[in-house]
Structure 1
Amino acid sequence: MIYIDPPYNTGNKDWVYNDRYVGKTDRWRHSQWLEFLYRRLVLARDLISPDGVILVSINDENRSRLEMLMDEVFPGRRLGSLVWRTKDTGNDLSQRFSHVHEHVLVYANPGFKFNGRPTDRRKFRNPDDDARGDWSPQPLTANKTLFERPNAYYPIQNPETGYWYPCDPDSTWRFASEKAIRTRLEGDKNAIAAALDGLRSDTIEMLIEKQLIYFPPCKPRDVMQFDTRDDLIAAIREGRGPILPKKKTALLRENLPDLDFWVGKPIAPGRPSRKEHWTARPEEERLAPVSSWIAGINEEVDDDDDFIEAIVTLRSTRGGVATEEVKSILGGKAFPYPKPLSLLRGLLEQATKKNDIVLDFFAGSGTTGQALLQLNAEDGGQRHFILCSSTEANDDEPTRNICRDVCAARMRRVIAGFNGNAGFSAEAGGEFAYLQLDKVAPADLLYDVKAETAAALLSLRLAHAIRNSRGGHVQYIARADDYDILLCMEINDQVVKELAIWPQQNGVQRLAVYCDRPLALQEALEAHGIDANCHSLAEALLSGQAGGRV
């Protein structure tokens, strides 16, 4: 998984380009911002695993620009976006419009799926003694109006009681009606056949025949009936007509095209639902999907219907809480507009497996790292993080270093424990390496690279960790099976002698040695009867680097 919270290009000194802040008056700031992100996203695309995902936070102002860029870099990979309410109060009272939300764009490779949540077995019951076993009521409505889906706007009748149920004109039924199609197309056999052939699911008539529609029981005294059109209109105007049970919005309105149909019809309260039997869904599919709405911690979620469809609603504190979270760790306002821990916890919980690697290359204050450690502690995971940040040094602040003074500092304090909060042991993932990248010309690599730098890079690549160096001419990197991996920055008689006795002293059978003259060292060790494979240090250091060989 990759998560990034890039600078939002507001013009308020929120990002540095070519060692200077880009302001609102810069006529090229949008182009610079897109190019700035494009180069990084292209690299990110090549790092995402076949079942991986990239999540990108962005404000509403720049969402459209970023989506076009993401569509270009990740064609066909757009999964959707999550909407997160960042605050409770408005910020533009002059126009009576409040910007209170941001987005998290989701682009994923084909193998990715959100983790979802196992369906609660307790929600499956059998109140009508259905021979097929326990079932859960699912809403019959979709978020489409009668003008968008005319085939799905029709009345439903309970064949056993004769009671009728109106369709909500703002949220039509999910399933088409064969009777409604035939009525609308007025006997045009070819058009009717084409319409029915184009359906992707059963019609409501089929579902009723299969007894997959549940009609809630009601008492006769609760059934409404209006004998004349005037009686019906009067009831609508006085609020006595049929309504949605929870939302209390009217189902019948004066301007509906089928208003006359309801004159004289017995109208039942409540809403019919579709039965979903526990045994009808394969076990691997008994997972609730993730909602696109990120709700507040204590926010009551109002579903589109009067039925609770099985969905996972992520929850997060508002944005201002994050500033206090960072302040409690580092003191003061160390970083502007950080993301809250709860937001990252929710995203990580749904988008990662327990052994995944998570990359954040706009790491900022390090929220991603802390959230990952907390999630590991909660579910026993072994997730690893890679947090990348620029220094954000500029002409005004040449010594500024966000990565060192904010991100790395936060991770150290979180791991050690702060303000009474327990830290994280090495076994629980509580360790990390702080690395600083530098540019070295390939031709000068072996002359300019320091021993500790070479050891760190080899250790990360081969052992996925950095261990304290023993120093000396021969540096230990890692052990793999029956051989040790070693680093030699120079080759001389003393180094050869030390390598010749290494297997016996350290209880290994073979050696893998990285050095600047692998062929010469290979011959020298073979002369001493040592089983070794010697590798070019320069090739190892260049491997995978920009401009180097892979």
Structure 2
Amino acid sequence: MTKKDFQNWSKEKLLHEYKELSKRKKFGIVWEDKIEEVAEQCKISLPVLKDEKTKSFSTGKNGINHIFIEGDNYHALSVLNYTHKKKIDVIFIDPPYNTGSQHWIYNNSYVERDDRFKHSKWLSFMSKRLRLARNLLKEDGFFAITIDHNELFTLGLLMDEIFGEGNRVGIVTVLHNPKGRNQAKFFSENSEFLMIYAKDISKAEFNSVAISEDTQGTFTEIDDEGKFRYEPYIRARTVWSRENRPRNWYPIYVSKDLKDITHKKQKGYYEVFPITNNGKEMAWKNIQETFIELNKNNYFEAKKEGSKIVIYHKYREQQVLKNVWTDKKYQSEFHGTNLLKKIFGDKRFDYPKSLYLVMDILKITSKDDSVILDFFAGSGTTGHAVLELNKEDGGNRQFILCTNNENNNGNGHGGVAQGVCYPRIKKVIKGYKESSNIAVAGLGGNLRYYTGDLVGNVITDNDKRVLTSRSTEMLCLAEATFDEVARKNGLFAIYENQNQITGIIFDEDAISDFKKEAQKYKKPIVVYVFSYDHSYNEEDFEDLENLKVVKPIPEVILNVYRKIYKELYKPRNL
């Protein structure tokens, strides 16, 4: 690049140059954006969904409707930006780790270890999807993602850029393969990393749970606030001596019946200092100001042990969440690979996640009625984890799984979607026999199966009609109304759930007939009506009882696509 000579530039030209330079990124991650074919398709075609009715199934009319989308996750996320914007509580993904071991395809080719642009390709691939995914989260939602050392640092910078460094909840080290890999030259990798971000950390809250099997059994006491264990309030290690921690040396006063504990000197109360049995002057765990605040919440208990009064604090389950997870239940071989072997009778997928790892991630991030998305669904562990959690606590969580059907390493069982993920979820919902012939009861639920599809870009009025006719599945998914109850000659269709009906009017001349049919159902009504622009005649629906809203189609869909693609294709400031 030729060096610029500013000496002869005019003031106006210098100011313009200064403004352009000011726009450049000053800190963060920079990469050479690589064109991706599936993203380029969306410049000339629009993603839609196709309902695969023969693969959908139900185990009960009132069961939870889980969603399965087969296709490229870029297209699926585009659709979900219409159907589920700000509706998702938790997103968990286990993306390609970019190891160069032929586990990740970019533009129909495996990305090799020695590819000079492998990091740029991976960042281009991930950046688009993470930006689309962030739009889906509720304001108090969480995004969790696993990764190994190959892209740990690039992913961290990318996540900071998209979610904001201030919304980084933490990074957890997970011991998933204690044996490690013997072929390593220096360190034998036995861990991977879990990054958790909040959409807005000021609104997000973790659940109060203990996820470590090693610690759960130690909480043997219980009170109105839940389980806890007693731990001495004194710090007995040398670094916690009175000399080293003078602010943590103060008296605590305890009544004769041991029921009242206070920082205020009281007549007839025991005066207790942090002194060990052998007379060493140590320190309390907190300074006095913190002790006073904790004591307002029934945090302490005093016990008489021999001639001494000992102060204990209540250590509760929710206080044990650490950022290093080493439980055996996180080992992917035993609770991922071997679990799949039990379900299928053979090894059908490389490196599935431990079921219990995903369950624990969801335990701390989800509510019992959360919507949970995994757009790298792979072997279906996230869906399985949601079903197990619902069984465990009686919850009504719903999962949305997205995965393509790419070749699963030629193992003879079909692609990832149809040969692994879908049959696993079907077995877990309906029940199955393990490879050892032990019957496993189904966990129940309904599954709606969709495949991704594309329609031509909307240019003419006829294109608008085509998009409208192909958008029925998207509209039903957006409203969660899956059961068709009426249809008339391609003029209109009506779908329902327990709480509402959704009407889709494909021809404005059918409005009158639609209203007559819709009034039969005595439920709140959402209406989508075909329009060549973004308007409709409000008077046409004034007499429709229980009307919630009328939306013109396909304009409401086109507006979403215009907005997200404009943002994605906007030049990045380097």
**Normalised-by-shorter TM-score class:** 0.5 to 0.7
Matches within 5 A, 1:215-294: 275-276=312-313, 287-294=318-325
Alpha-carbon distance change, 86 to 535 in structure 1, aligned in 2, over 3 angstroms: closer
C-alpha root-mean-square deviation of aligned residues, in Å?
A: 4.9
Map of 2:197 onto structure 1:
107
- Give the deviation of 1:140 after TM superposition: 5.2
> Secondary structure at 2:158's aligned position in 1?
helix
2:230 to 132, 136, 159: 136
Aligned-partner Cα distance in 1 for 2:525–2:208: 47
Q: Which amino acid aligns with 1:381?
A: G
Map of 2:467 onto structure 1:
449
1:56 to 135, 142, 145: 145
> Secondary structure at 1:442's aligned position in 2?
coil
Alpha-carbon distance change, 367 to 491 in structure 1, aligned in 2, over 3 angstroms: same
The number of residues matched between the two structures is 425
Aligned-partner Cα distance in 2 for 1:61–1:200: 45
- Give the deviation of 1:363 after TM superposition: 1.1
Map of 1:79 onto structure 2:
169
Q: Which has the higher contact order (CA 8 A, sep 6+)?
A: 2
Alpha-carbon distance change, 55 to 160 in structure 1, aligned in 2, over 3 angstroms: closer
Aligned-partner Cα distance in 1 for 2:453–2:232: 54
Map of 1:537 onto structure 2:
553
> Secondary structure at 1:406's aligned position in 2?
helix
1:47 to 132, 136, 145: 136
Q: Structure 2 length normalisation: TM-score?
A: 0.61
2:428 to 411, 414, 418: 414
Map of 2:475 onto structure 1:
458
Q: Which amino acid aligns with 1:85?
A: L
Map of 2:159 onto structure 1:
70
Map of 2:278 onto structure 1:
163
- 1:488 counterpart = 2:502: no
Residue by residue over 1:297-335, the C-alpha shift from the partner in whole angstroms, topping out at 9 and shown as x without a partner, is: 4xxxxxxxxxxxxxxxxx434445312222333454332
Q: Which amino acid aligns with 1:537?
A: I
Aligned-partner Cα distance in 1 for 2:310–2:159: 39
Unpaired segments ≥5 residues, structure 2: 1-89, 211-215, 250-271, 434-438, 567-574
Q: Structure 1 length normalisation: TM-score?
A: 0.63
Aligned-partner Cα distance in 2 for 1:343–1:371: 9
Alpha-carbon distance change, 82 to 508 in structure 1, aligned in 2, over 3 angstroms: closer
- 1:89 counterpart = 2:183: no
- 1:116 counterpart = 2:208: yes
**Bigger mean CA offset, 287-296 vs 74-83:** 287-296
> Secondary structure at 2:367's aligned position in 1?
coil
Unpaired segments ≥5 residues, structure 1: 126-133, 177-198, 220-271, 279-284, 298-314
Percent identity among equivalent residues?
A: 26
Alpha-carbon distance change, 539 to 518 in structure 1, aligned in 2, over 3 angstroms: closer
Which is richer in strand?
A: 2
For the Cα contact (< 8 Å) 1:51–1:111, is it kept in 2?
Answer: yes
For the Cα contact (< 8 Å) 2:374–2:382, is it kept in 1?
Answer: yes
- Give the deviation of 1:479 after TM superposition: 4.9
Q: Which amino acid aligns with 2:358?
A: L
Aligned-partner Cα distance in 2 for 1:153–1:92: 50
- Give the deviation of 1:372 after TM superposition: 0.1
Aligned-partner Cα distance in 2 for 1:159–1:323: 51
Alpha-carbon distance change, 162 to 496 in structure 1, aligned in 2, over 3 angstroms: closer
Map of 1:246 onto structure 2:
none
Aligned-partner Cα distance in 2 for 1:153–1:89: 45
Aligned-partner Cα distance in 2 for 1:488–1:540: 14
Alpha-carbon distance change, 173 to 364 in structure 1, aligned in 2, over 3 angstroms: farther
- Between structure 1 and structure 2, the one with the greater Rg is 1
> Secondary structure at 1:22's aligned position in 2?
strand
- Give the deviation of 1:404 after TM superposition: 3.8
> Secondary structure at 2:388's aligned position in 1?
helix
Aligned-partner Cα distance in 1 for 2:130–2:535: 43
Aligned-partner Cα distance in 2 for 1:506–1:161: 75
